[in-house]
Amino acid sequence: MSLILIQALNGLQTGLVIFLAASGLTLVFGILGVINLSHGSFYMIGAYLALSLTGMFGDVFLALVAGIPLAFLLGLAIEWLFIRHLYDRDHLQQVLLTFALILIFNEFQQVVWGSYPHSIPAPSYLAHSVRLTEGLSYPVYRLALMAICVALAISMALIIQKTRIGRLIRAAESNREMVEALGFDSRLIFRMVFATGVALAATAGMLAAPIESAYPGIGDRVLIISFVVVVIGGIGSVRGAFIGSLLIGLTDAFGKVFLPQFSSIIIYALMALVLVIRPAGLFGRA
Amino acid sequence: MIDRRRLLSLGASAGAALACGPFIRPSYAQAGALKVGLLLPYSGTYAPLGEAITRGLELYVQSQGGKLAGRSISFVKVDDESAPPKATELTTKLIQSEKADVLVGTVHSGVAMAMVKIAREDGIPTIVPNAGADIITRAMCAPNVFRTSFANGQIGRATGDAMIKAGLKKAVTVTWKYAAGEEMVSGFKKSFIAGKGEVVKDITIAFPDVEFQSALAEIASLKPDCVYAFFSGGGALKFIKDYAAANLGIPLWGPGFLTDGVEAAAGPAGDGIKTVLHYVVDLDNAENLAFVKSFEAAYKIPPDVFAVQGWDAGQLLDAGLKAVGGDVSKRKELNAAMAKASFASPRGPFKLSAAHNPVQNFYLRELKGGKSVNLGLAAPAVADEAIGCKLS
């Protein structure tokens, strides 16, 4: 029983962090039509930003306050330098350029932070564990992380569903020409969406840093899982990304306990199953 | 007094010598620089390891006045990128286009295996300064292939012995599901079970996954006396922190690579972890004291086990070269001398087994305040079993 409780918590926590990363990917993919392979690099940048900024401010949450705007600015710059030239290009060219970005960010990370793993402390007021069952404690930071992710998910849903900006984003997704015709600058919207995607991935990296620590290649796994989430949830659907992330987190957590020999493929099996039943993903438009 | 005649004859012979330059070069090339081909990771996750090995080796050569057996040494460094698919091409390049006299490499076992395969065919004297794959000094052993590091199973066995000695009886193992992890665990189980210990469960995690909570929950429900774990790099750091956060109250043991390189980052979460390895920086022997001093003077950081393995690659090569007076064309004698070499290493006495793997002491270490502290000898002069090696 306690094992099931722990695994449910693990699954939810993994899923929620994946959601933050994957929601950015699905927005960029769905609205800009850009396949961004370097999305995992922004997660990595987030983890290392957390390392440097926590060193300066002493608390990972304060690091977040400085780190999110920095990541947003980085997103704006990357969009302006590279991504905006790709909107009307072939997917292959997008893949090539964003793959090149991965190499550049990896090199940058090596030069600036080196290749030894670094640990980022959780804030002292959260750096303890609560006893859940006899013999096993659960880190409080992970519980706080879950709460923050849920809060972010709710505010994202509200922004997209209820605000003028959200309506504009949804409109740009379904009909770019119409948005232009109504006098809105779709390029500006695109730039903001891309930067938001970068900021979301980096936020996920920063929040996860005290649990994951920072090491080279930390973003690779996140990139792959995010793509799986986008495929399961349906391209461009933030709600789909949310459901998909939780599904993956839980499947992975329970798969490891009940079907350990299949643990490395179980999420891909889930993806195949979803694709057979709903080829456009759970919330995708065929 | 130099007369005109003598000046003329001197000038003429000097001119003749210059003109003949291109033809006589081969004859003194033998006395010139010896080319050591270094195939090591200089980029990627393993770059610090490749760097440490290189530093250790270069430091040894410097300590001998830049010469081994009277020959100056030149290094050709090739970044193997820890990529097995590139290993064959890079090794061939070092041997054929760079004309390396000896090979030293590498860290990644997959790359080392490809490299050793070529070295066996070519016959070029080759020293492996890290890669721990058992097979290199077991089924793949060769007269010209030497290792100055360890075999994975050897560390596992030494750790099992130390755990039995500490009175532990019931263990759970946890590692990544990949070759190094499996070899470290199977070596451990051999000696732990032989010492009347019981392994209740082997938990494996897909490589390079770092989500350890389910493993920790399982360990909590199994309630063993101790956990034997092997991870490395970022994964090891995360495991150590997650393990501490889970508050299991079960002692954590492992091969030294569980904590090496991440001691400082682990901080208080690492306190009390016991590991077994063939080196610890505070070893109290004359060779190590001198080594640590000169390493710190040269590079401003304390040495690690990888630097020692590089240093000993230098010592081993030196022993071989001395026996043949620096003439690497005498490969057979050179190999024979390296096989028989025994010297004082910073890790303690060093000699090779019949399979060319070090027979060495293993030390029990405990992590305290971000540093591995030596608790004493865990197992003296441990050799690998060398199953399948036909050298003797």
Q: Is the torsion defined by CA of B290, B296, B302, B305 positive or negative?
A: negative
Residue B1 lies in a domain: no
The Cα–Cα gap between B92 and A260 comes to 41
Chain A residues at the B interface, defined by Cβ less than 8 Å, are: 2-3, 6-7, 9-10, 14, 110, 114-119, 121, 129, 131, 133, 135-139, 211-218, 221, 252-253, 256-257, 260, 263-264
Residue B322 has pLDDT above 60, yes or no: yes
Residues from chain B that touch A253, judged by Cβ atoms under 8 A, are: 211, 213-214
End-to-end Cα, chain A, rounded Å: 41
Residue B239 lies in a domain: yes
Determine the residue type at A243: I
Residues from chain B that touch A263, judged by Cβ atoms under 8 A, are: 205-206
Tens digits of residue pLDDT in A8-53: 998 999 999 999 999 999 999 988 889 999 999 999 999 999 999 9
Residue of A nearest to B260 (CA): A116
Q: Point out which residues pair with B173 in neighbouring strands.
A: B202, B228
**What is the DSSP secondary-structure string of A107-143?**
HHHHHHH-SS-B--PPPGGG-SEEEEETTEEEEHHHH
The Cα–Cα gap between B159 and B258 comes to 12
pLDDT grade for A117, boundaries at 50, 70 and 90: confident
Instruction: Give me the CATH number covering residue B231.
Output: 3.40.50.2300
Residues from chain B that touch A256, judged by Cβ atoms under 8 A, are: 205, 211, 214-215
Greater confidence, B311 or B44? B311
Residues B56 and B141 in one domain: yes
Q: Measure in Å the smallest separation between the Cα of A253 and chain B Cα atoms.
A: 7
Residue B109 lies in a domain: yes
| Whole-number Cα distances in Å, B48 to A213, B54, B295 | 18, 10, 15
The Cα–Cα gap between B288 and B344 comes to 9
> Which of helix, strand or coil describes residue B170?
strand
Of B277, B308, B323, which closes a domain?
Answer: B277
Residue of A nearest to B270 (CA): A119
The pLDDT value given to residue B12: 53
The pLDDT value given to residue A128: 87
Residue A175's φ and ψ, nearest 5 degrees, are -155, 95
pLDDT grade for B22, boundaries at 50, 70 and 90: very low
pLDDT grade for A129, boundaries at 50, 70 and 90: confident
Residues B290 and B219 in one domain: no
Residue of A nearest to B224 (CA): A135
Residues B235 and B210 in one domain: yes
Residues B293 and B144 in one domain: yes
Determine the residue type at A202: A
Residues B82 and B162 in one domain: no
Residue B227 lies in a domain: yes
Give chain A's largest Cα–Cα span. 64
Residues B145 and B39 in one domain: yes
Residues B252 and B290 in one domain: no
Q: What share of chain B is helix, strand, coil (3-state, %, to 5)?
A: 45, 20, 30
The pLDDT value given to residue B1: 44
The pLDDT value given to residue A144: 95
Q: What angle do CA A8, A221, A285 make, to 5 degrees?
A: 75
Residues from chain B that touch A260, judged by Cβ atoms under 8 A, are: 203-204
Residues from chain A that touch B243, judged by Cβ atoms under 8 A, are: none
Q: Measure in Å the smallest separation between the Cα of B178 and chain A Cα atoms.
A: 13
**What is the DSSP secondary-structure string of B113-125?**
HHHHHHHHHH---
pLDDT grade for B4, boundaries at 50, 70 and 90: low
Which whole number is the average pLDDT over B242-270?
92
Residue A214 has pLDDT above 60, yes or no: yes
CB A21 within 8 A of CB A226: yes
Q: List the single residue in A117, A129, A211 with the smallest CB-CB distance to B265.
A: A117
Q: What angle do CA B379, B380, B383 make, to 5 degrees?
A: 95
Residue of A nearest to B204 (CA): A260
Q: What angle do CA B31, B33, B38 make, to 5 degrees?
A: 140
Residue B365 lies in a domain: no
Residues B158 and B306 in one domain: no
Of B214, B249, B277, which closes a domain?
Answer: B277
Domain count, chain B: 2
Predicted-complex ipTM score: 0.77
Please give the structure tokens belonging to residue B117.
């395969």
Greater confidence, B350 or B235? B350
Determine the residue type at B304: D
Q: What is the number of residues in chain B? A: 392
Structural domain containing residue B183:
153-277
Q: Measure in Å the smallest separation between the Cα of A105 and chain B Cα atoms.
A: 12
The pLDDT value given to residue A258: 84
Residues B251 and B136 in one domain: no
CB atoms within 10 A of CB B295: 23
User: Which of B212, B213, B219 to mutate: most A Cβ within 10 Å?
Assistant: B213
Residue B391 has pLDDT above 90, yes or no: no
Residue B220 lies in a domain: yes
Q: List the single residue in A3, A136, A263 with the smallest CB-CB distance to B246.
A: A136
Q: List the single residue in B204, B220, B234 with the smallest CB-CB distance to A213.
A: B234
Q: Measure in Å the smallest separation between the Cα of A163 and chain B Cα atoms.
A: 37
The pLDDT value given to residue A286: 56
Residues from chain B that touch A118, judged by Cβ atoms under 8 A, are: 265
Q: Measure in Å the smallest separation between the Cα of A174 and chain B Cα atoms.
A: 37
Which whole number is the average pLDDT over A113-131?
88
Tens digits of residue pLDDT in B142-175: 999 999 999 999 999 999 999 999 999 999 999 9
CB atoms within 10 A of CB B1: 3
Residue B23 lies in a domain: no
Residues from chain A that touch B248, judged by Cβ atoms under 8 A, are: 135-136
Q: Do A121 and B267 touch (CB under 8 A)?
A: yes
The pLDDT value given to residue B145: 97
Residue B390 lies in a domain: no
Residues B144 and B288 in one domain: yes
Q: Do B267 and A119 touch (CB under 8 A)?
A: yes
| Whole-number Cα distances in Å, B128 to B38, B232, B316, B356 | 10, 20, 11, 10
Q: What is the pTM of this model?
A: 0.83
Tens digits of residue pLDDT in B177-206: 999 999 999 999 999 999 999 999 999 988
Which whole number is the average pLDDT over B57-62?
97
Which whole number is the average pLDDT over A123-144?
86
Q: Do A137 and B245 touch (CB under 8 A)?
A: yes
